[in-house]
């Protein structure tokens, strides 16, 4: 395998990596090499920078310091660092949700006229779920009540549990969280508590610290879930949609605008405005305007508007290197500051839009709810202006793109299931599990990371699981990897699915008359939309009369990178999912903490981490986890039957 | 002959050289696996501090090495081929004479095996691991004559 081939399995990315090298353009992979070897202490989680006496490091080989200056042991240091990154993830997801909530409120107050309540039915459904009575109220009134309830999950002073936790899990799970004292009552409070208890001289008990982290993780879950709900109300609940993915979606004939980041508040409007400004683009000599996406903003606009996905996280620079991107509009999270230097090598305008997410030297168009369209127009204008400066000689777009079927919100998925069971759509899936037609379900989530070969983990594990009849759902950059590789098509079913999964998908596809057949992997949205697969799991658990910890449902983040992935991983384990991570998180510096997250967690929550960097071995372990749950379920139903016979 | 040199002003005391040294002397050579190995891998370089200056202390492979002279069994010897001072641990009896005479304190005691432990200048590597691991390039391999 060549050096560049070792970096990615995505043919479009590889083509651009070769071009980058020819042109002397730097990428994350080059910077990664300059960082090698990565700091051993940091990699193991045994470096503490929490107080000004430090930094203290524990010698992982046991010869030097075994404690920090304050006396903190390896396990306290590792646990404190770990939960601080959970708090970082929680802050990111929940702040995203809070922004959507505030935009909705502004709209309801008449201050954000460019928005509308796109899905009043969702507002009503959420209202019912959280125990509000929507009868006789206008969509505006219902939305206001729901939004205020969501904001209360951030600000509640009483020790009442977060609504978005209790209303979305099983009673058994709620009880477990209360029992373990990890039920958050207020998202901001949970983050503050982690920061406090992990500061110098507070909590030194690793298990206690981890439980504090799990409380924050559940707050993260609440933040994700309310974000999905409110975004659906504001922009519509996704429905199946066809589009394309990979760098080939960049169209050299058009003005190309890339939307990148996570929060679609502005990107949604940019998509609309771009459609209105086609004439201006034509006047500049272009064939029109082409909006494409990167990271989760891409997933959001793909799910709701069918906007093509250019690439996922680690390849973001490669999109700019095509020389055909006229503007890249970024909001927040996962935006490499490196984009600035790179854009300077081209005509590309880098435009930041969020007041607290700026990059020196970039254009900044302040996003204001009250003037969303105006901001969007300014951005599209900048892109058209840049298009005039584009150097055609430097344009190189890899001719690689694959079809993708996306838009599988839980609602959309249940509609498909309803074609075989009108009364209880979820039975379609539960029956297939109980009859052994499918082995279980796997959620693919998370990022891409220079520590792994780009997309290889996602695709290898997906192929292996599909071959073993596992129903696949995906979110975030994991979904991006599958979309780019053509795994979100019915063609992939023929290529990779085992006999049971093929039968199941074909039967459902036929019954629902799904245009073009159902895909191998179901795109459920962005990273915050990991709430959707949880809803799916909870629905299955309820139908099977159990909790998520009992059903054959696993999660995997083969190339996790962000703190958000740490917090999602933590709540996935807490909710009961066996959760694979393909990049070793900084916990190995403490055998105790490693033991807790990979083994002891299972005794308490049913979920646990599987840390495995080899994708084939990871697939094996995930299948084993599914087999074990199926075996246990059968065994417990069998003993139940026996007990009944004995009576 | 090649030597490892230290550019004192560049050493920030991060101890990466220690980690790299231990890793190169581990079974797996992977940080995430090495911490689970038993016995734990041992490093031969130690970062010390004097006032505001850090110093990565490792064997100088002295031309006229006192440790060789002090060694009663002949375990400590000059490896003529590569020009390093090496310890043949099969002959080391753990009397620690070398430890006492080394003017730099470069020899360490291998607790488990009761033998002298010192820098072997990574004979199997293109570049000593500590040099490769140093993020500030405080450690350099150069021909001795060129630098002095
Ligand atoms: S909190 Fe303790 S371990 Fe951390 S830097 Fe301060 S003294 Fe060192
Ligand atoms: S790695 Fe380099 S900078 Fe760090 S302690 Fe060793 S010699 Fe000093
Ligand atoms: S161990 Fe000490 S005395 Fe022996 S060669 Fe190395 S620096 Fe010189
Ligand atoms: S040269 Fe090799 S053995 Fe010597 S200190 Fe450096 S890494 Fe350790």
CA A187 from chain centre, in angstroms, equals: 19
β-pairing, A521-525 vs A470-475, is parallel
Residue B1 clears pLDDT 90, i.e. is over it: no
Is residue B14 within 8 angstroms of chain A, CB to CB?
Answer: yes
Does ligand 1 have an atom closer than 6 angstroms to the CB of A291? no
Angle formed by the axes of helices A139-155 and A120-129, nearest 10°: 50
Residue A311 DSSP SS3 = strand
Give A320-365 pLDDT, tens digit per residue.
999 999 999 999 999 999 999 999 999 999 999 999 999 999 999 9
User: What was the pLDDT predicted at A591?
Assistant: 96
Could you give the C-alpha distances from A454 to A145, A262, A338, A397, in angstroms and in order?
A: 43, 20, 18, 19
How far away, in angstroms, is A124 Cα from ligand 1 center? 50
Alpha-helix runs per DSSP H in A163-205: 163-166, 171-179, 187-197
- Asked whether this chain's domains A247-394 and A405-646 adopt the same fold, the reply is yes
How far away, in angstroms, is B56 Cα from ligand 2 center? 6
pLDDT, average across residues B16-45: 94
Residue B147 clears pLDDT 80, i.e. is over it: no
β-pairing, A349-352 vs A363-364, is parallel
Give A449-483 pLDDT, tens digit per residue.
999 999 999 999 999 999 999 999 999 999 999 99
Does ligand 2 have an atom closer than 6 angstroms to the CB of B17? yes
User: What was the pLDDT predicted at A129?
Assistant: 97
Please state, in angstroms and rounded to a whole number, the distance separating the CA atoms of residues A413 and A418: 9
- Could you tell me the two tokens for B118? 């010192």
Count Cα atoms within 13 angstroms, Cβ side, for A516: 15
Is residue B43 within 8 angstroms of chain A, CB to CB?
Answer: yes
CB A550: neighbour CB atoms within 10 A? Answer: 18
Cα angle A55, A56, A58; round to 5? 145
The CATH T-level fold of domain B61-118 is Alpha-Beta Plaits (3.30.70)
Assign residue A574 a region (left: φ > 0; alpha: ψ between -120 and 50; beta: otherwise). alpha
Q: Whose CA is nearest to atom 5 of ligand 3?
A: B61
- One DSSP character per residue, A42-72 reads HHHT-EE-SSTT--EE--TTSSS-SB-TT--
Give A272-282 pLDDT, tens digit per residue.
999 999 999 99
User: What was the pLDDT predicted at B148?
Assistant: 44
pLDDT, average across residues B69-84: 93
Confirm if A440 and A552 have CB atoms less than 8 A apart. Answer: yes
Give A280-313 pLDDT, tens digit per residue.
999 999 999 999 999 999 999 999 999 999 999 9
Confirm if A519 and A487 have CB atoms less than 8 A apart. Answer: yes
β-pairing, A608-611 vs A578-581, is parallel
- Tokens 């929940």 belong to residue: A94
Is residue B141 within 8 angstroms of chain A, CB to CB?
Answer: no
Q: What is the largest CA-CA distance in chain A?
A: 83
Give A608-620 pLDDT, tens digit per residue.
999 999 999 999 9
For an interface test with B, give the residue of A34, A35, A37 to mutate (most B CBs within 10 A).
A37
Residues of A in contact with B45 (CB under 8 A): none
Question: Smallest Cβ distance to B16: which of A39, A60, A588?
Answer: A39
User: What was the pLDDT predicted at B50?
Assistant: 84
A436, burial (CB in 10 Å: exposed 0-12, middle 13-18, buried 19+): exposed
Domain boundaries, chain B: 1-58+122-148, 61-118
- Could you tell me the two tokens for A403? 């079809």
Contact A61 B43 (CB under 8 A): yes
Q: Which of A173-187, A632-646, B51-65 has the lowest mean pLDDT?
A: A632-646
- Could you tell me the two tokens for B11? 């050493």
Contact A61 B40 (CB under 8 A): yes
pLDDT, average across residues A198-221: 98
User: What was the pLDDT predicted at A170?
Assistant: 96
pTM, 2 dp: 0.93
Residue A114 clears pLDDT 60, i.e. is over it: yes
Please state, in angstroms and rounded to a whole number, the distance separating the CA atoms of residues A204 and A561: 27
Question: Smallest Cβ distance to A40: which of B19, B36, B132?
Answer: B19
| ipTM above threshold 0.85 | no
Residues of A in contact with B34 (CB under 8 A): 60-61
pLDDT, average across residues B90-103: 95
- Tokens 């492979």 belong to residue: B61
Q: Whose CA is nearest to atom 2 of ligand 1?
A: A70
Residue from A268, A256, A340 nearest A297 by CA: A268
pLDDT, average across residues A155-165: 96
For an interface test with B, give the residue of A32, A40, A588 to mutate (most B CBs within 10 A).
A40
Please state, in angstroms and rounded to a whole number, the distance separating the CA atoms of residues A241 and A234: 18
Helix (H) or strand (E) holding A369: none
Contact A40 B20 (CB under 8 A): yes
Peptide bond into A37 cis (omega under 30): yes
Contact A37 B132 (CB under 8 A): yes
A62, burial (CB in 10 Å: exposed 0-12, middle 13-18, buried 19+): middle
Give A501-516 pLDDT, tens digit per residue.
999 999 999 999 999 9
Q: Any bridge partners for residue A350, and if so which? A: A328
Give A47-90 pLDDT, tens digit per residue.
999 999 999 999 998 888 999 999 999 999 999 999 999 999 99
Domain boundaries, chain A: 11-57, 74-235, 247-394, 405-646
Average pLDDT, chain B: 91
Residue B96 clears pLDDT 50, i.e. is over it: yes
The CATH T-level fold of domain A247-394 is Rossmann fold (3.40.50)
* Choice between B112 and B36, residue whose per-residue pLDDT is larger: B36
Q: What is the CATH number of domain B1-58+122-148?
A: 3.30.70.20
How far away, in angstroms, is B58 Cα from ligand 2 center? 11
Give the ligand 2 atom nearest the CA of B12.
Answer: 3
Cβ-Cβ contacts under 8 Å for A450 (sequence gap 6 or more)? A7, A28, A29, A32, A314
Residue B20 clears pLDDT 90, i.e. is over it: yes
Give A535-546 pLDDT, tens digit per residue.
999 999 999 999
Does ligand 2 have an atom closer than 6 angstroms to the CB of B14? yes
Residue A638 clears pLDDT 80, i.e. is over it: no
- Asked whether this chain's domains B1-58+122-148 and B61-118 adopt the same fold, the reply is yes
End-to-end Cα, chain A, rounded Å: 64
Please state, in angstroms and rounded to a whole number, the distance separating the CA atoms of residues A49 and A56: 7
**Is domain A405-646 given the CATH code 3.40.50.2030 in the classification?**
yes
Average pLDDT, chain A: 96
User: What was the pLDDT predicted at A640?
Assistant: 58
Could you give the C-alpha distances from B13 to A81, A513, B9, B19, in angstroms and in order?
A: 22, 66, 11, 12
* Choice between A525 and A639, residue whose per-residue pLDDT is larger: A525
Question: Smallest Cβ distance to B20: which of A37, A64, A589?
Answer: A37
B33, burial (CB in 10 Å: exposed 0-12, middle 13-18, buried 19+): middle
- Could you tell me the two tokens for B142? 């150069």
Residue A643 clears pLDDT 60, i.e. is over it: no
The CATH T-level fold of domain A74-235 is Substrate Binding Domain Of Dnak; Chain:A; Domain 2 (1.20.1270)
Confirm if A593 and A190 have CB atoms less than 8 A apart. Answer: no
Q: Which of A139-143, A215-219, A396-400, A632-636 has the lowest mean pLDDT?
A: A632-636
Could you give the C-alpha distances from A201 to A86, A204, A295, in angstroms and in order?
A: 20, 7, 39
Please state, in angstroms and rounded to a whole number, the distance separating the CA atoms of residues A498 and A462: 12
- One DSSP character per residue, A477-513 reads HHHHHHHHTT-SSHHHHHHH--HHHHHHHHHHHHHHT
Residue from A533, A463, A468 nearest A501 by CA: A468
Confirm if A93 and A227 have CB atoms less than 8 A apart. Answer: yes
Does ligand 2 have an atom closer than 6 angstroms to the CB of B68? no
Residues of B in contact with A57 (CB under 8 A): 15
Is residue B133 within 8 angstroms of chain A, CB to CB?
Answer: yes
Alpha-helix runs per DSSP H in A306-355: 316-320, 339-344
Residue B142 clears pLDDT 90, i.e. is over it: no
């Amino acid at each position: 395998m060549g050096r560049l081939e070792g970096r990615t399995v995505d043919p479009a990315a590889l083509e651009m990596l070769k071009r980058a090298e020819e042109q002397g353009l730097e990428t994350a992979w080059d910077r990664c090499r300059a960082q090698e070897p990565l700091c051993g202490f940091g990699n193991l989680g045994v470096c503490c920078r929490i107080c000004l006496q430090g930094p203290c490091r524990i010698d992982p080989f046991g010869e030097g310091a075994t404690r920090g200056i304050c006396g903190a042991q390896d396990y306290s240091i590792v646990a404190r660092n770990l939960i601080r990154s959970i708090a970082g993830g929680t802050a990111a997801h929940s702040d995203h949700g809070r922004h959507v909530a505030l935009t909705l409120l502004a709209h309801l107050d008449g201050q954000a006229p460019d928005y509308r309540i796109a899905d009043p039915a969702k507002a009503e459904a959420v209202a019912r779920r959280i125990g509000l009575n929507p009868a006789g109220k206008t969509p505006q009134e219902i939305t206001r009540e729901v939004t205020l309830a969501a904001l209360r999950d951030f600000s509640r002073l009483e020790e009442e549990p977060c609504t978005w936790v209790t209303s979305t899990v099983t009673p058994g799970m709620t009880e477990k969280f209360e029992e373990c004292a990890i039920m958050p009552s207020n998202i901001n409070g949970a983050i503050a508590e982690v920061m406090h208890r992990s500061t110098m001289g507070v909590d030194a008990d690793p298990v206690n610290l981890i439980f504090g982290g799990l409380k924050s993780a559940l707050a993260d879950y609440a933040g994700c879930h309310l974000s999905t709900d409110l975004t659906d109300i504001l922009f519509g609940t996704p429905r199946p949609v066809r589009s394309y993915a990979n760098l080939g979606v960049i169209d050299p004939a058009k003005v190309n605008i890339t939307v990148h980041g996570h929060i679609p508040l502005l990107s949604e409007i940019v998509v609309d405005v771009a459609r209105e400004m086609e004439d201006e683009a034509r006047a500049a000599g272009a064939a029109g305007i082409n909006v494409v996406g990167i990271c989760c903003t891409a997933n959001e606009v793909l799910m709701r508007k069918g906007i093509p996905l250019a690439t996922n996280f680690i390849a973001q620079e490669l999109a700019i290197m095509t020389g055909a991107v006229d503007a890249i509009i970024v909001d927040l999270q996962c935006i490499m500051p490196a984009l600035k230097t790179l854009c300077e090598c081209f005509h590309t305008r880098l435009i930041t839009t969020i007041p607290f997410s700026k990059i020196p030297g970039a254009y900044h168009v302040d996003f204001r709810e009250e003037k969303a369209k105006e901001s969007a127009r300014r951005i599209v204008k900048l892109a058209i202006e840049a298009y005039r400066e584009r150097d055609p000689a430097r344009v190189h777009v890899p001719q690689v793109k694959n079809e993708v079927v996306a838009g599988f919100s839980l609602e959309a998925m249940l509609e498909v299931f309803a074609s075989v069971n009108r009364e209880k759509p979820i039975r379609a899936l539960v029956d297939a599990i109980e009859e052994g037609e499918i082995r279980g379900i796997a959620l693919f989530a998370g990022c891409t990371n220079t520590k792994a070969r780009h997309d290889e983990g996602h695709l290898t594990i997906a192929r292996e699981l599909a071959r073993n009849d596992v129903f696949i759902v995906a979110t975030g950059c994991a979904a991006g990897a599958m979309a780019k590789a053509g795994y979100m098509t019915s063609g992939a079913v023929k290529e990779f699915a085992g006999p049971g999964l093929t039968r199941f998908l074909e039967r459902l596809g036929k019954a629902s008359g799904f245009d073009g057949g159902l895909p191998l992997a179901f795109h459920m949205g962005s990273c915050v939309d990991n709430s959707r697969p949880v809803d799916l799991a909870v629905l299955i658990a309820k139908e099977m009369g159990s909790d998520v910890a009992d059903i054959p449902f696993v999660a995997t983040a083969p190339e996790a990178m962000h703190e958000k992935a740490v917090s999602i991983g933590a709540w996935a384990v807490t909710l009961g999912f066996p959760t694979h991570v393909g990049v070793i998180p900084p916990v190995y510096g403490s055998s105790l903490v490693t033991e807790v997250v990979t083994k002891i967690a299972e005794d308490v929550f049913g979920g646990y981490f599987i840390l495995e960097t080899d994708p084939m071995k990871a697939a094996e372990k995930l299948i084993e986890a599914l087999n074990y749950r199926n075996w246990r379920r059968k065994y417990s139903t069998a003993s139940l039957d026996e007990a009944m016979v004995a009576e | 002959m090649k030597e490892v040199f230290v550019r004192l002003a560049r050493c920030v005391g991060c101890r990466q050289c220690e980690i790299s040294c231990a890793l190169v002397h581990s079974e797996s050579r992977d940080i995430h696996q090495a911490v689970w190995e038993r016995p734990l891998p041992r490093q031969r370089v130690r970062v010390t501090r004097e006032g505001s200056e850090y110093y990565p202390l490792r064997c100088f492979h002295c031309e006229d090495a006192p440790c060789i002279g002090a060694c009663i069994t002949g375990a400590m010897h000059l490896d003529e081929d590569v020009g390093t001072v090496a310890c043949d641990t099969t002959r080391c009896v753990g009397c620690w004479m070398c430890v006492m005479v080394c003017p730099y304190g470069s020899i360490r005691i291998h607790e488990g095996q009761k033998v002298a432990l010192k820098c072997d200048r990574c004979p199997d590597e293109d570049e000593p691991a500590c040099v490769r691991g140093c993020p500030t390039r405080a450690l350099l391999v150069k021909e001795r004559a060129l630098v002095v």
